[in-house]
Structures are given as C-alpha cells and as structure tokens.
Amino acid sequence: MKKAQAIRLFILLLIISLAAFLVTHESGTIYINGIGVLMAALTGLWLLSLIIKDASIIDIFWGFGFVLIGWFYAFELHDLNLDFRQKIYLALISIWGLRLTAYLAYRNIGKPEDYRYAQWRKDNGAKWWWLSFIRVFALQGFLLWIISSVFVQGFQVNAELSVFEYIGIAFWAIGLFFETVGDWQLMQFKKDPNNKGKVMDKGVWKYTRHPNYFGDAMVWWGFFIYALSNPQAWIFIFCPIIMTLFLVKISGVAMLEVKLKKTKPKYEEYIRKTSAFIPMPPKT
C-alpha cells in the first residue's frame, strides 16, 4: 500500500472511531446536532464552490467553522447565558477563528484556486463535482467537528478561573502571537517583488520555519487546557493531538516543505539552520 493511501485509510478509520465515540458520549445529542449544523453549512459552501469553480473556499471557512460550532455549543448548553469563565472561552474561540478567516480571505479572494485542489480537479475530471464534496467538504467538516468536540467540555463548567484557565490562556496567547505575527511578516515579505524566490528567515521565521503552524497548535493546546477544569475533558486530549499531527505530518509542514524545496533554491540551507516547528535559536 502506498503511503498516501495508508494515510487516507488512517484518517478514515480515525474519523469513524471518533465519530462513534462522540455520538455515544453522554453529550451525544449535542454532538449530533453539531455535525448537522456543520454539514448544512458545508453543503451550501460546496454548492457555491461548484458555481465559482473553486474548492479552496473551504480554507477560508475553516477558522469560521470553529466559531460557528463554538457559538452553537454555547447556545445548546446555556442559551448563550454564559458566566464569566464561559464568555472568555467563547471569546478565545471567536478571536482565533475570525482572525484566521479574515487573513485567509484577504490572501485568497481573487486568486486562482489553490494548487492542491486544482490538481485534484485535473486528476478527477468530470467526477470532481461530486467527489469534491466527499474529499474536501465532508472530510474537513468531520475533522472540524471532531477537533472542536473539546469545546462542549469547556462550556460545561460553571466555576471561577483556575490554574487550568490561566495556563490555557497563556498557551492561546503565545500561539496567537506566533500565528498572527508570522502571517503578517510573511505577507510583508511577499509584497516586495525583490523577494521573489527568496526564503523568509527574519522575525519569528528566524526561529521556526512554520511559526503560523506552531501558533495554531499552541492555540489548540490552550483550548484543551482551558477545558480541564471539567475532569471529563482529559479524554478529549485527542483534539489538540489530531490538530498538531495534521499541522506537522499531513496537511501542514510535511506537504508545504515538499513544494518549498522545489521552488526555493536556498530552502535546504534554511532547513539546516532553522527548527521545523518549535521555535529554537538558529544553528550557526
């Protein structure tokens, strides 16, 4: 079995097993309603992608999808009548998700379809219109649903802020800093035509080759840690683990670096001196 096929099989089995866990959980009704909301939104998004012939609009929706499901869970559990701790949790989710969506909308709207989806469109020809729903929209919808399941645990606690909340906020803040600053610095770098084909190795990019992915992972560990005032939340450690694995091994670092090694001649040198993920002092 090829590596790509093995990865797809692993993802499928993971989704099935975790979906079974969520629907049989004591909060199973809430989770079932949650996947219904997401699938309804993603079906509409898929239909729009068929009209504009651009499946990469799913990338813009990704951050907003977590905001949508976060607000839905807050409504299902408390009718949005949240205490101070729960309001902070919802604010953390909303700030992170809306920033990511706004950034990707600014970067992608008006641009050609992302090269990954464009290649899949070319490879699958006439059947891409329906296959795109399964391979892109439904798949990412189920992943979004599974990864966000920790939100329910975070909203279920009515309590004062504890050490878990403060540590979670610290992780979230560090993650948002690296993600936001990394995106902004790269955007400014790309605006200069003299930098075409060059490697961005300044600012936070001096310490990690992927500050935005590292930041994203830190944010998700922050969401998880914040929820730990609820003793049942420990089992939902799979949420930040899955997100981190995807960022490092599947759709983030691993996939992007294959492309960068081909398009940027000095990227190998950058790899030798710069940490791939966790920020570290550059090697001499």
Q: How far is CA 184 from the centre of its chain?
A: 18
Q: How confident is the model at residue 3 (pLDDT cuts 50, 70, 90)?
A: low
**Beta strand ranges found along the chain (DSSP E):** none
Handedness of CA 150, 204, 58, 114 (dihedral sign): negative
Condensed to tens digits (0 to 9), the pLDDT of residues 242-264 reads: 999 999 988 878 888 888 888 88
Q: How confident is the model at residue 275 (pLDDT cuts 50, 70, 90)?
A: very high
At residue 20, φ and ψ (nearest 5 deg) are -65, -40
pTM of the model: 0.94
Query: How far apart are alpha carbons 125 and 121 in whole angstroms?
Result: 6
Q: Say if residue 64's pLDDT is above 90.
A: yes
Condensed to tens digits (0 to 9), the pLDDT of residues 177-211 reads: 999 999 999 999 999 999 888 899 999 999 999 99
Instruction: State residue 140's pLDDT score.
Output: 94
